Structure 1
Amino acid sequence: MSSSLASSSKLPLNSEESETRNWLDLPRDVTATILLKLGAIEILNNAQRVCTQWRSISNDPVMWRTIDMTNSSYIQKTEFNLGIMCRHAIDRSHGNLIDISVEEFGTDDLLNYITDSTSHLHRLQLVGCWDISDEVWIVVSKKLPLLEELDITISNLSKDALEAIGRCCPLLKSLKFNMQAYKYQHIECDEEAFAIAKTMPELRHLQLFGNKLTNDGLLAILDGCPHLESLDLRRCLNVNLGGSLGRRCAEQIKDLRNPNAPTDDYLYDAEFDTDESFDDDYSYGMSDIDILSDDEYDYYGFSDGSDYDAYDDILLV
């Protein structure tokens, strides 16, 4: 063999071939870490269909200890019922689920399914989930003894449900209870603040974006939650942090976001809702999302249980 041929045989693969080879040769744990960054919806819809190795990794229960289904760009695009997809992801965790995030498609049935499927849940995030009732919250709270972080953003949760959560979740350290900001200052309500102050003494972090609490509610929280380190009161227009209350907040709270603080880093809609046609308790400006009809549900062959073979078949087409 000539020296030129010998040297050419040792030339590196072109960039495309090298990239393909490297993806396939990555250690399993590295590939798993990359796939986790995609989120549950992307894994179920696309990533697990790439190759046998990715399919195997996607079925590993370790991959489903954390389930993130807040990729809202998929909500209007996916042909699947996201509630069914979420149940499928939960089943893959085999009871090891510790952290789950759901956006807009949460229901009573789904919340029951989540809390019946794991006893280890540490973090729960529900964004825009209007279809979860107080009655179910009161029941499922009893199944969340290890819960440390709860994010309920834009919902119709009442003080009764908040009290049940506080009583049943003694380890709760972080609560986000956010609403669409309501422009009219004269609508005041301290019920949620009083419920938090009464039942959540171990809170370290509290976000009440757009809440209707007054200075009375804030004072109750400062008294009832002595360990608070951060408090977000942005868009809470009934709160006045002047005088002694402002001084107490500054002394007691390390990280305080006042009602007029910038909202640039707030992940959801920070605009005021000015539509007076809404009932006061439901004026958060959220709209329902489309879900599959009963006929479409039957068409795809899904059941209410945990048999999702048909779902896998559809994904692998």
Structure 2
Amino acid sequence: MEGDDTKKWEDLDTDILVKIFQTFDIFEMTSGMAHICSAWRYAACDPLLWKTLDLSMLKSNFIKIPLEPYVYVDEPSDKQLTKLLKISLNLSRGCITTLLFHFYQYVSDYQLTYTAERCLKLRRLVLPAWNRIRKTGIRKAISLWNDLESLTMPSIGNPPYLMEEISMHCKKFSELKIFGPCDILMVQTLIRCVPNLKVLSLRCSILKMEVLLLILNGLENLEVLNISHCFIVEDSPPPATRKVVEKLDNAILEKGSRLREFFTCMDDSCVMCQRTKADEGLMRWYKYEEGLWKEDEVKSLVV
């Protein structure tokens, strides 16, 4: 029609397109819309859209197996993650500073190193299970993340190699959250490798009293400690093997009061405390509400 000045989608201002794209989830952003036209492609690569790559809603379809790596991830599930990573990392053009994986996302060595090479500005990482990641893979990734400040991760059986890599390459590192047990070796490694650690969260896990004391005495620059809903135990003389601590004594509370924030919860009426106690400090997150693992009393650690 003559005189029709109706704008087409591809004629919208880039700022407007970016605002629209900000309402899309990762599946919509990687659905192929960037190929519709050059204007959409340009807007889809805007840095505002790619500060955070949130894959925390995507978990692997897996079964447990008796041999290493102790899980088998089916091929369609693996291919879906690889596809999402490749499209996202292509569109983001190196702008991603926060990368979030699901607690039950079993990332492969290739997927992690591929991502690391294209996320050189990464500052915060929520890492999934270690099962399919080799030492060489995590070492390579950490060596590329010189700006890494915050890491959320499952427990690791051999912490020195990981923290030594962080010590060498991540000079701004200051924040750590661990899912699962934190033992004496882990804390000793933190004291040696990352003495400037400011924030530590061990919520909803088993925690020995000797480990808690070492944290409070040894991490001299620690400002925030979260042990909310922990299943706290102390060794007892034989024949007893351990004693469950029902209440923190005044000496622990006094040491904790020196921190800027010391989060504790050992309330029998607290649902999360009840769940941690029922699981004996080894949380089976799959039994509970989806996304419950994302919570934390430390705001900067919430996923």
TM-score, normalising length: structure 2: 0.65
1:256 — aligned with what?
Answer: 262
1:193-235 CA deviation, whole Å, 9 max, x = no partner? 2222322222222111234332322232223433323211123
Which position in structure 1 is the counterpart of 2:109?
A: 108
SS at match of 1:238: strand
Q: What displacement does 1:275 show? A: 7.4
Aligned partners of 1:66 and 1:97 also within 8 Å: yes
Q: Does the C-alpha gap of structure 1 residues 248 and 75 become closer, same or farther in structure 2, counting only changes over 3 Å?
A: same
Q: Flag the structure with larger Rg.
A: 1
**Conservation of the 8 A alpha-carbon contact between 2:230 and 2:276:** no
Q: CA, structure 1 residues 62+232, in 2 after alignment: closer, same or farther (shift >3 Å)?
A: same
Give aligned pairs, total.
251
Where 2:127 maps in the other structure, the secondary structure is strand
Counterpart contact for 1:122–1:147, Cα < 8 Å: yes
Identical-pair percentage: 21
Q: 1:213 aligns with which of 207, 210, 222?
A: 207
Letter in 1 for 2:97: I
Runs of at least 5 residues in structure 1 that lack an aligned partner in the other structure: 1-19, 182-187, 288-317
Structure 2 residue 236 is the aligned partner of structure 1 residue 243: no
Distance 1:30 1:59, change over 3 A: same
Question: In 2, are the aligned partners of 1:39 and 1:69 still within 8 Å (CA)?
Answer: no
User: Where does residue 6 of structure 1 map in the other structure?
Assistant: none
Is 2:124 the partner of 1:123? yes
Alignment partners' CA distance in 2, 1:223 and 1:37: 46
Equivalent in the alignment of 1:90: 89
- RMSD of aligned alpha carbons: 4.1
Residue 163 of structure 1 corresponds to 163
**Which whole-Å CA distance do the structure 2 matches of 1:65 and 1:175 have between them?**
20
Go from structure 1 to structure 2 and tell me whether the alpha carbon gap of 1:73 and 1:198 turns closer, same or farther (over 3 Å shift).
Answer: closer
Cα pair 1:196 1:221 within 8 Å, conserved: no
AA partner of residue 44 (structure 2): S
Distance 1:194 1:142, change over 3 A: same
**Equivalent residue number for residue 35 of structure 1:** 21
Following superposition, the deviation at residue 141 of structure 1 comes to 2.2
The TM-score with structure 1 as length reference comes to: 0.63
Give the CA deviation at 1:128: 4.5
Taking the aligned partners of 1:49 and 1:58, their CA distance within structure 2 comes to: 10
Give the Cα separation in 1 of the matches to 2:156 and 2:100: 18
Q: CA deviation at 1:37?
A: 4.5
Unaligned runs of 5+ in 2: 1-5, 63-75, 234-244, 287-303
Higher strand share: 2
Between the aligned partners of 1:116 and 1:32, the Cα distance in structure 2 is: 26
